[in-house]
Structure 1
Amino acid sequence: MSMPELARITDETELAEAVSAAAAEAATLEIVAGGSKRALGRAGQTARTLDVSGLSGLTLYEPEELVLSAKAGTPLADIEDLLARHQQMLAFEPVDLGPLYGGPSGAGSVGGMFACNLSGPRRLSHGAVRDHALGARAVSGRGELFKSGGRVVKNVTGYDLPRLLAGSFGTLAVLSEITLKVLPRPAMQETLLVFGLGPDAAARAMSAAMGSSCEVSGAAALPASIVRRCPEIPAEVSVVAFRLEGFEPSVRARRAMLITAMSSFGAVEVLEADASAALWDMVRNALPFAGTGMRAVWRLSTSPMAGPVLAEAMMRALDAEAYCDWAGGLVWALMPAEAAEPDAVREMLRPHGGHATLIRGTPAERAGAVFQPLEGALDALTRRVKAGFDPLAILNPGRMHAGM
C-alpha cells in the first residue's frame, strides 16, 4: 500500500516503515518538523512530506553530567527553557531564522537545528553545533535504523556519524534522536563597544581582542547603517562589539584588560547585561534584515581578517547591507533586491577564500546554487557519502546540491 502524500510520524518504528515504503516505490521525501528553516536550501519538489514533529520529547537529561537527549521533533524552545531553569545552555547559540523568513521566533526543532548546523556568536569560543554532538539515532534512505555515539564526548567506534549528520540538511538520514553536551550558563555578561572604526581597524581590533587573555565570547563589527537599527546602541557610527561572560569578578577584571587593549582604537563604552543579550540575539539571528520582504540574504564564511573588508566591498559594489560576526569570520549580507547575484557575491569572496550560502531567496533564486558549489575531490566524496546513506536519493533530494 502506498503511503499518503503527508505522513505524520510519532515513533521510530513508524519512521523506519515510512522511509522503507518510500524507498520501495522510489518516492522522494521532504523531511519537516518545526518548519522554521523550510525556506533554507535549494527549492525542490518531492512526492511526499514526512512530518516528524510528532517524534517529540526529552529522553534523557542529567544536569550533573551535562548531557541531554531529545527526539528530533522536540521544539528547541522547550529545550532552551528547560536548560535555563537549570542555569545551563546550548553553548553554540543555535540560530533562529524564523523572523528572517517572516515567521515567529522559537518555532524550530532540535532536529532542524542539528541538521542545519547553524551556530551563533559563541561559535568562535565554544565551537559549532556538531562539536557538541555526543550521539544520534537516525533512519537511512534504505529505511534502516542506526545509532552512533553515546553519552560521552569520546567516540571510540572510529566513525563520528553525529558530526557527519550535522549540517547534512536531512539528505543522508532522517534523525530520530540527538544527544548533546550542554554547559553551565554564564552568571553574567557585558559587551564592550568600540566606536568609529573602519574595516581595517575593525579587523585589527577584533584580532587583538581574540589574541588576548580576555576570553571574548563574541566579536562583531557593525557598520553605521546596522547600528541605527539597534536600539541598544546609542550611536550613529560604526561599532565593534566584544562580549565578556562569566562570574562577576572575572568579567570586571577582563573588562578592564580589554578597555586597555582597545584604548588605541577609539572611544569605548560598556553595555550592561540586558542590552548586551539583546544585541547578541540581533547579531545571531540577522534581525536587522528581518522585515525586509524577500530581499536576498547571504551568509559568508571567510578568514576573520578578511570579513570587515569583504563586508565593506559588498556594500560599495553591490549596494548591500552587511555586518560581521565570529570576529570577522562570518559576514551577513542583505542584497538591495530579490536578485541574489550569486556569481558576483562568490567572485567577491573568491580572493579571500571561504564559502557563501544563500540564506533567504525567492524560489527562482533558490533554484540555483544556494550552497557553495562543490568541486573535484570534494564533489566526488560528497556523492559517495550520499550514495552510501541514501542510494536511491529519496531524502530531501537536491536540497543542498543538484543531483544529490
Structure 2
Amino acid sequence: MAPATEAELAEIIADCHARRTPLRIAGGGTRIENPLVAETLSLSRLSGVVTYSPGEMTLIARPGTPLPEIQQMLAAEGQALAFEPPDLRAVLGSNGTPTLGGVVAANASGPRRLAAGACRDHLLGVRFVDGRGRVLKNGGRVMKNVTGLDLSKLLAGSHGTLGILTEVVLKTLPLAPARTTLAFPGIDESTALRIFTTALSTPYEVSGAAHVGGTAFLRLEGLDSQLAYRRDRLLALLAELRPQVTDDAPWEAIRDVAHFAGGGPLWRILCKPTDAPGICVKLRAMGGDCSLDWGGGLVWYRGPGNPRAFVPHATLVRRGGAEGPAFPPLAPAVARLNDGLRRSFDPAGILNPGLMDA
C-alpha cells in the first residue's frame, strides 16, 4: 500500500483499525525498520515541499520527501537543518533514500546536536494520522504558535508507533560560513572526555565533539572574523595535548558512523558523558570496538555481546546476527506511560507493533 494523499492514508488506517490489521510503516528504508509485520504501508508517494520560506526560516514538507532534495534546496539559500541528520545507508547496507519523515520519526540527529539540539527541538508542528484513521494537527509555523500539549515532540522519536506523519514543519538555520577542527590523535576515551569537558565548559561554542579511531575531534563553526579567536583560545587551553588544526576533518563520516559500516551487530548507546570511558572498557572486553559522539553522550559499539547487561539505553541499530528486540526495555513507570499513550493514539495496536516493544 502506498497512499498518494492524506485522505487516502486516513481511509486505509481506519479500515486497518476496524480489521485490526497490523502495518509496517516504511519510508526510505534507511532507519530501523520492523521485520515482524508483513503488510507494508509505504509513504513514498506522500512527497514534496509544501512551503519553504527562507526569510522566515521555515520549511513545510510531506514525509516521503527525499532528505537530499531538502538539503540541496536549503543549501541554495544558505540554510540547513541545524541538527545535522545522519545518513545510515552505508551502516545498514540500504539502497533506499533517506526521507524527511524518517528523520523526524527517528528523531535522527548528528554531531551538532550538542550545540543546536536534536531534531525534535527544531520541529514546529506536524500533521499526522493516528491509529484510528483520524487526521490530527499540532503546532504551527512559528515557535510562538506552539501552545498547549506539544504532540510534535511526542511524535519525534516514536518510529511511527503513535501516528503516521503527513506534514512536518521545521525550523531552518543559516549555514555556518566557515569551520575548523582541532584534532588530538593517539588518545583514549578518558583523555577524550577530559578534552570534551574542558572545551564544552568554555564560551567558545564547540559544535562537534567526537572520538573515533583513537583521535578526538573538536569542531568550531561560525564567521571567519571570530572563528580564529575561538580556535586560538582552545589551542592555548589544551596546549599540553598538542592539538592539530585541520579544515579537513571527517565530520560527515562521523555523522554517518562510516567507520562502522559493514558487518556485525551495531549498537547505539546513550549515557552520561562521564560514564562513557568506563562503558568503552567493558565494551572492548566483549571483543568489539567503539567510538564517541555528542561529547561522550553517545557511544557506538560494533561487536559481539549485549551491552544491555550493563547499560540501560542500548539500541540495536544493525542486527548483524544478533538476536532480541531492537529497543531496550523501559523502566516500569515509563512503560506504563508508554502503554497509555499507545492505547490513546493506536488502540488496536496496528502501527508498527513489536518495533519498540522489548
- TM normalised by structure 1 equals 0.86
**2:275 paired with 1:306:** yes
Query: Pairwise mapping of residues 3-402 of structure 1 onto structure 2 (< 5 A)?
Result: 7-37=1-31, 40=32, 43-46=35-38, 48-104=39-95, 107-222=97-212, 226=213, 238-264=214-240, 266-272=241-247, 275-276=248-249, 279-290=250-261, 292-293=262-263, 295-315=264-284, 317-336=285-304, 341-342=305-306, 345-349=307-311, 355-362=313-320, 365-366=322-323, 368-402=324-358
- TM normalised by structure 2 equals 0.96
Instruction: Give the Å deviation of 1:261.
Output: 1.1
- Which letter does structure 1 place at the counterpart of 2:65? T
Moved more, 320-329 or 196-205: 196-205
Query: 2:187 and 2:326 mapped to 1: Cα distance?
Result: 32
SS of 2:143's equivalent in the other structure is coil
* 8 Å Cα contact 2:125-2:146 kept in structure 1: no
* 8 Å Cα contact 1:93-1:121 kept in structure 2: yes
Instruction: Give the Å deviation of 1:141.
Output: 0.3
* 8 Å Cα contact 1:308-1:324 kept in structure 2: no
Instruction: Give the Å deviation of 1:268.
Output: 1.4
**Count, aligned residues:** 358
Query: 1:104 and 1:50 mapped to 2: Cα distance?
Result: 18
Gaps of 5+ in 2: none
Q: CA-atom RMSD, angstroms?
A: 1.5
Deviation per CA, 1:75-115, whole angstroms, max 9, x where unpaired?
1110001011111010101111111111348x111001100
* 8 Å Cα contact 1:199-1:308 kept in structure 2: yes
SS of 1:72's equivalent in the other structure is coil
Instruction: Give the Å deviation of 1:323.
Output: 0.7
Query: 2:282 and 2:85 mapped to 1: Cα distance?
Result: 28
Deviation per CA, 1:340-362, whole angstroms, max 9, x where unpaired?
x32xx123325xxxx11111004
* 8 Å Cα contact 1:194-1:262 kept in structure 2: no
* 8 Å Cα contact 1:41-1:371 kept in structure 2: no
Gaps of 5+ in 1: 1-6, 227-237
Instruction: Give the Å deviation of 1:41.
Output: 5.0
- Which letter does structure 2 place at the counterpart of 1:298? W
- Which letter does structure 2 place at the counterpart of 1:253? Y
How high is the sequence identity, in percent, across the aligned residues? Answer: 41
Query: 1:84 and 1:135 mapped to 2: Cα distance?
Result: 22
Query: 2:189 and 2:146 mapped to 1: Cα distance?
Result: 44
Query: 2:197 and 2:302 mapped to 1: Cα distance?
Result: 25
* 8 Å Cα contact 1:203-1:306 kept in structure 2: no
Deviation per CA, 1:253-281, whole angstroms, max 9, x where unpaired?
111011011112x1211111xx23xx111
* 8 Å Cα contact 2:78-2:175 kept in structure 1: yes
